[in-house]
Every structure is written in structure tokens, then in C-alpha cells.
Structure 1
Amino acid sequence: MKRLFIFLGLTFVLTWIVEFTLMANGGLSGPYAYIVLAGIMFIPALSVVITRLITKEGFKNFGLKPRFKGHIRYYVTAWFAPSLLIVCGALFYFLISPSHFDLTMSNMFQLYRAQGADATQSTLMASFLAQVVVGLLFGPLLNIITTLGEEIGWRGYLLPKLMEMVSGRKAVAISGAIWGLWHAPVIAMGYNYGFDYAFFPWGGILAMIVFGFFAGSFLSYLAIRTKSVLPAAIAHGSLNGFAAISVWVTIGQTSPFIGPLPVGIIGGFGLIVLGTVCFYLIGQPTAAAASDANPS
């Protein structure tokens, strides 16, 4: 419990100091905002290191051992499932709201023109297809350094510690909620949900906590099954790299709470289903054994 309090205290205090400073200096519209946000992703891992040094815990079971043997299917799932489910969620949304689907990518065309780029329908389509291929095949690898910064903390340290005290499902639910709450200041800056919604920013913060539960259930399942944070970091990287792909073919005013982005209830339908299944499986004896709770 002492180690948990130290880890969470460090993670939240350091993160929120940086984010509230960012908020006071232009928020997400600042020129270096996304560089700062990328740096923030390393804070959970840094907090783990500091906590282990303070408590003299050492660095055994740090969670970085790959453990490929017998677990390749989890790595393949981590690499491709988030991207494919994001596409499925977006397609589901566009089937329900076809007026928001625009294969001509007119919004992106206007954005290119506003930036002085010489955009044509063919160059837009080529750029879109390139984004799809890069996101699907290379997104997890390109993002893994920053996502490891988070996963070492959330699924590599917090989750195992919780699983020593409560059941697997409770540990996953608590860690997912904490992970979602950790994003509160950036949600208040308009990240994911914008500003124009009822109960701002509390509605967005609550939605992020719910998203943290479902996405966290999937990431936790990967970490528990493989006893490593690497598959969770891969899946997290896939999620981050592909999350905004539907923006290319979206037109009109949409609600981020609905879709087509994966943080919406319809756009994220595939992730919700997968997270629910993983949450159920974590409660089964083979996935919830205490020995599986300690990545090494």
C-alpha cells in the first residue's frame, strides 16, 4: 500500500503540475503542446523507478521481459486488434449516420488548401491509404517508446500491486479508472472531447474513466496472460496510432461521445466488446492467478 501511494502520488503530482502549467500557457493550442504530452507519457515509468528506489524494492519483475514462447497470439492480437476494431467502430457509426461519411475527404481537402498544400483527390486518397498502412503495420512500433512509459506504470506496476490485495477484476477496474482519471487536466483542455458539451469538463472526464476501464481491461488481459507489459505497450501504440483515422472521411458536426472516434460509445463499440470479454476472462482462474499478476 505504501508503494502504491508513493507511485500514484508521484505520477499524479508530476503529471498534473506539467499539465496545469501547459493549461496556463495556451493549452493544447500552444506550439509545443503535443511534445509536452508525449513527454508526460514517460512520467508513470519514471515514478516506478523513483518508487522502487525510495522503498528499496529493487528492479526485479519490471515487466520488460518479452516472453514470446507460447504467447505469440497475444502479440499479434495486440498489434492488429485495436486498429481493426477502430475501423469496425467507425464503419458501424457511418452505417448509422451515413450523412457524416465523405469519401471525397472534403474537410481534409480544405485543411490542405488552408495550409498552402497542393491537394487533389488522388493525392488525398494516396495520403489516406498511406496513413492506413503505416498505422496498421508500423503504428505500434513507432509509438512503443512513449506507450511503454505509461504501461510500465499502469500495467507493469499498479496492476500487479492491486492484484496482491483484491481480485483480478477489481484490480483491473480500479487501475482502469485511475488511468482514465489521470487524463483529467488534458480532458479539461479539450483533448478527445472538445469543449462544447454539457457538464464540461466533468462529463468528458467521466467518459475518459469509462474508456480507461474498457481499454484498460484489454491491455491488462495482455499483460496478465504474458506476464509482460510489452504486448500492452504494443496494443496501446496501435490504439494511439490509429485512433484518428476516421477523421479523414468524416464530414459535418459529430459528437465525440458518440463517434466515429473510438472514444465514442458507437465508434468505440468494438473496443467496448473486446474490453468486456477480457474483463470476463480475467475473472477466470487461468487468467487471474496471482502468479500471473507479476510481469517480469
Structure 2
Amino acid sequence: MIVRRNDLVVFLVVAFGLSWLFALWPWIGNKKVPSVFVSSAAVWMMLTPTLAVLALWWYRRRSMPELVAETGSRLGSRPRQTVWLIVAAWFGTAAFVWLAFGVSVLLGMNEFDFSLGVDWTVLIILEALVGSTLATLPLALGEELGWRGWLQPQLTGRFGVAFGLVATGVIWGLWHLPLTLRGYNYPELGAWAAAVFVVTCVFFGLVLGWLRMRSGSVWPCVVAHAAWNAHAIGVSAFGSLDEKPNQLLSGHGGVVGWVLLALLAAILFLLFPVRGNDHTDPNAPAIQEPAAPPAPTAS
């Protein structure tokens, strides 16, 4: 894969430019979390990384088969393994979010509200596991085609696995600035939510990055991203209304989550190593670079 600096510039300018454009609503109206304006902006923003990839492909005059191949939109060279990774991402991400919540409760950082009863508890968990995850898949795809589908292979191919994964996570987190500066995801932290969310994106991005390289496909990342968002909403239903948790420390997006994500990433990379070129599907059609124009001949 030939990595061009101009490609990175085009992708980042479009992705970040459109994210701020779609997020103008809450800024112009001075709306803060929670707000329907902020939620609507978040929905539209999640499509901008894919729009950036499409803009890049228009700029480079590439074909659709090349677009599909380079973004890992197939199931990779080992489809059966990819399917299992999709299943693992679906249920594993759900288990992780609830584990982080449980650890936070055990450490006294959060309180579990038992007033919902067993029936409602099971219903909320199942709804997050199936309904919300499926409903969130298109928006998660909108992000992941850009971040893990296109950007991550570019950065790991140019700078190596470690730096490439961290850089992808940082860019992913900074892309959320139009919302996180308004306290999105961490309303109690205000503008500090922006810095906290960057750290969360780096740690979660390590796991998503491993899924991308291990499978050669973006689909396990899409499912994990959708499940993360779905269960983040589901688990919030069980928090105590009387005692607000410390958002910096507790839950899957706080320090507890960071530690658990770091441990999970270390286990995955140590037990199942990957390489920087593992994004490539050997069965995908080769991407042809345009031929250089012939040199002028002397008359």
C-alpha cells in the first residue's frame, strides 16, 4: 500500500471539517449536554469519516473495488475467523462494559440501583445486546470505515504498529472535540471531557486496532463500536439517581475502563501477535497506481 501525505491531509481536512460543520447546532445555540441538538450533531458526525474516505476516493479517481479492498470492507482472507471475531466483539464488548461497571461498584465508585427488578434488568440487557447494537451498526460503520478501515492502515504502514495505533486513537478522540468540549459523554467534567475522551479512544482503539489487523476486516471493529455505544446507554439505567459517580474514575470510559482495556490489549497482542501489514487482504484485487506520464523528448 502506497501511503501519500496528501491522502492523509485530504482525509483529515474533510473528516474534521464536516464534524465541526455538523456540530455547529449546539455551539450556535449554546446547547450543552443533555440536549437534542448535541445528540443530533453526534449522529451526523458519525458519518463524516466515511464521507472523508469517499471524498479521498473521488480526489484520487479510484474505483469502488479498490475502495472496498483498502478499507477492509470484506471479511478478510480468513472469513470464518472473522465471523468468530465478530461474535466475540459483539458479546465481549457487552461483557466488558458491564464488567467495568461492576468493578466500579465494588470499588465504591458507583452504586447499583436494584429498584428495577429482575425482569426489567434482563429486558434492558437484552435490548442493548440486540436492539440497540443492531440499530447503532450503521453509525458505527460510518466511523469505522474511516478510522480503522482507512486511517489505521495508513498510519501503521508509515510509522509502525505501536505509534500507528496510538495516533489513530488520538485523532479519533480529537475528532470528537466539537461535542466533548461541551461535556459530551462526561457532562460533569465540562470541557475537560475532551481530554478524558481522547485517553478513552486511545485505549479502546488498541483493542479495535487488534481486531482490524487480526481479521483483515473492518467488521469486527464496527460491531465492537456499536456494542460499546449500545451498552453504555444500557448500563446507565442502573446507576443510582441519588449518588452521581465520579465520571473520571468509574465505568468503561473512566480510569477503571482504561486499566481493563490496557490489560485486555496487552493479552491480545501478546497471545495473538499481529504485524503492521496484517490489514491487507491477500485475496483482494491489487490497487493500481496511475502510471507516470512519459518524459518529454527533445525535438
TM-score by length of 1: 0.83
Kindly tell me the number of residue pairs found equivalent between the two proteins.
269
Match of 1:228 in 2: 217
Compute the displacement of 1:99 (Å).
7.1
Compute the displacement of 1:206 (Å).
1.7
Q: Deviations over 1:107-134 (max 9, x none)?
A: xxxxxxxxxxxxxxx5xx5333212012
Match of 1:272 in 2: 262
Compute the displacement of 1:51 (Å).
0.8
Q: Which amino acid aligns with 1:239?
A: W
Q: Deviations over 1:150-200 (max 9, x none)?
A: 0000001101111221111111110011001111121111111114x4xx5
Q: Which amino acid aligns with 2:50?
A: A
Q: Report the CA distance shift for 1:249/1:70 in structure 2 as closer, same or farther (over 3 A).
A: closer
- CA-based RMSD of the aligned residues comes to 2.2
Compute the displacement of 1:229 (Å).
0.7
- Is residue 2:97 matched to residue 1:86? yes
Q: Report the CA distance shift for 1:269/1:133 in structure 2 as closer, same or farther (over 3 A).
A: farther
If you compute each CA radius of gyration, which structure gives the higher value, 1 or 2? 2
Match of 2:8 in 1: 4
Q: 1:243 aligns with which of 214, 232, 236?
A: 232
Tell me the distance in 1 between the aligned counterparts of 2:248 and 2:268: 23
Tell whether the 8 Å contact from 2:23 to 2:38 is kept in structure 1 after alignment: no
- Is residue 2:244 matched to residue 1:253? yes
Give the unaligned 5+ runs of structure 1. 106-121
* 1:195-214 superposed matches below 5 A: 195=188, 197=189, 200-201=190-191, 203-214=192-203
Tell whether the 8 Å contact from 2:90 to 2:224 is kept in structure 1 after alignment: yes
Identity of aligned residues (%): 23
Tell me the distance in 1 between the aligned counterparts of 2:35 and 2:113: 30
Match of 1:49 in 2: 54
Choose 46-55 or 125-134, whichever is displaced more: 125-134
Q: Deviations over 1:55-86 (max 9, x none)?
A: 22433123211242233331121111111011
Match of 1:147 in 2: 140
Q: Report the CA distance shift for 1:70/1:275 in structure 2 as closer, same or farther (over 3 A).
A: closer
Q: Which amino acid aligns with 2:180?
A: I
Q: Which has the higher contact order (CA 8 A, sep 6+)?
A: 1
Match of 1:19 in 2: 23
Match of 1:189 in 2: 182
Choose 139-148 or 54-63, whichever is displaced more: 54-63
Q: Report the CA distance shift for 1:70/1:279 in structure 2 as closer, same or farther (over 3 A).
A: closer
Tell me the distance in 2 between the aligned counterparts of 1:167 and 1:267: 26
Give the unaligned 5+ runs of structure 2. 285-299
Q: Report the CA distance shift for 1:101/1:170 in structure 2 as closer, same or farther (over 3 A).
A: same
Q: 1:36 aligns with which of 13, 32, 41?
A: 41
Tell me the distance in 1 between the aligned counterparts of 2:256 and 2:58: 44
* 1:94-173 superposed matches below 5 A: 94-97=105-108, 100-104=111-115, 125-173=118-166
